Amino acid sequence: MNTSNATEPLAINTKDLNLWYGTFQALFDINLKIKQGIITSLIGPSGCGKSTFLRSVDRINERLGYVRIKGAIEVLDQNIYEPNVELAQLRKQVGMVFQRPNPLPISIRDNILFGHRIHNAKSSSKSEEDAIVEDALRQVLLWDQVKDRLHQKASVGLSLEEMQKLCIARLLPVKPSILLMDEPCSALDPKGTAAVEELIWELRGRYSILIVTHNMAQARRASEECIFMLMGKVVEHAPTEKLFVTPAHKETADYIEGRYG
């Protein structure tokens, strides 16, 4: 079931998407219309295909030689599995944040500039780079905490919350349209989780955000639409409050109420 209005601009549009790991089928006929500029959460029990779907959107799954895909994923109206699609260009449009913060073992400043320098053939002046660093860190609500230690190693002296914010900031200088977040708060304590949720909410509108979470309270607090997956299939896609209060399917209600998963 999909309640998205087809006339609204879409960030991601999947058409009969099927995916296999070798002979094991992990995704079955996924048809989703994910709107631009909002936060959409993906929920469901472990092994239901949430992370597999997320990793299909920026083609990370292809690194595994035994993955096979049928169907289409359109990102901003372009089928990303067409032969002429360049991965480097796709990953400028689609940024990915993982479960555990993974800052590069270089300075905070160089972390922020890493993608910018890779994707821009023309070198930027120091003042241009300084502006890029400040803008990215301000967007993730981290500038005030780190502005006096930009040349320190990012893997030293930052809390897990700050590292995760830095990993999000690292994506922003290349101006992505879509941010994919795979359990971005799973390594954080409650205070860090609240801070990252606040950040995700701050970023809505500027970016289309798709977040995988096992945390039902987080999905309800921090998303506008919610997708429930089970055994590789989409069971329900609806506005978050509607899905939690009046789910259309028994399987959704059972999962939300903790009867399985």
Q: Which domain holds residue 151?
A: 10-256
Q: Please determine, for residue 3, whether its predicted confidence score (pLDDT) is greater than 50.
A: no
Report percent pLDDT > 90 for the chain. Answer: 81
Confidence of residue 150 (pLDDT cuts 50, 70, 90): very high
Q: How confident is the model at residue 40, as a pLDDT?
A: 98
Is 261 a domain residue?
no
Report the candidate in 119, 220, 241 with the shortest Cα–Cα distance to residue 173.
119
Mean pLDDT value across residues 107-116: 95
Is 112 a domain residue?
yes
Q: Which amino acid belongs to residue 75?
A: V
Beta carbons of 110 and 173 less than 8 angstroms apart: no
Q: pTM of the full predicted structure?
A: 0.91
If one counts the domains in the chain, the total is 1
Is 146 a domain residue?
yes
Environment class of 213 (CB within 10 Å of its CB; exposed 0-12, middle 13-18, buried 19+): buried
Name the token pair of 215: 């945390």
Is 111 a domain residue?
yes
Plot region of 205 (φ>0 → left; ψ -120 to 50 → alpha; else → beta): left
Is 4 a domain residue?
no
Is 70 a domain residue?
yes
Is 1 a domain residue?
no
Q: How confident is the model at residue 4, as a pLDDT?
A: 46
How many angstroms separate the CA atoms of 229 and 27, rounded? 10
Selection from 62-66, 133-137, 215-219 with the highest mean pLDDT? 133-137
Q: What is the CATH number of the domain that holds 233?
A: 3.40.50.300
Angle at 10 between CA 8 and CA 14, to 5 degrees: 125
Is 225 a domain residue?
yes
